[in-house]
Amino acid sequence: MSLNLKKYGIDLIDKWNKFIEINEDNSWILYGFEGQTFTLIHWGSGNNGIEELSEELSDSSMMYGAVCLRDPSSLSHKIIFIIWQGQSVPGYIRHKVKTFDEDIKKFFKGYNCDITARSYSDLSNGLVEHKPISENKSEIKVESREMNSNKNIESCQEKQTSKDIHIQTQPV
């Protein structure tokens, strides 16, 4: 089976464009797959930040979303695109869906950076808010190798910690 962005494409883009236009602190949007298919659907949206978005994520799903946050270094808004890889998703499904990432990132335009997250701690406010966004787009990849229920990562620094979190920034 292949990725299907056409079935609900108009609705997906319409909701994405409204999200981008609102550009408010803590607004978010989430997409997932319809049933057992690879048809992308709008999953939900809200305005209570990463914590509310995290409540909608499923450990057994691959999902895509975004959150709008105020960049503390510039006081402007930044939109973080999130690629969610639930920890309970079987490896063969995770691998198959991972091949869709580039097409999905091209489909949704207007974000400042993207994060690949496997655990809720990867999406803590400290991790996302304290990562500066340069004038040219950059891509942020976060991979957690150890399951950690602690949602409080204090900062996003380019170093290994006891939680073995690796952060890599690459210009686009």
| Each residue's pLDDT tens digit, 124-157 | 756 555 555 544 343 334 333 232 222 222 222 2
pTM of the predicted structure, to 2 decimals: 0.74
pLDDT of amino acid 164 = 30
Q: Are strands 113-117 and 77-85 parallel, antiparallel or unpaired?
A: parallel
The secondary structure of 20-40 as a DSSP string is: HHH--TT-EEEEEE-TTS-BE
pLDDT in tens, 69-82: 887 777 788 899 99
Contacts of 100 (CB under 8 A, 6+ apart): 3, 38
Ordered domains of the chain (ranges, CATH): 8-130 (3.40.20.10)
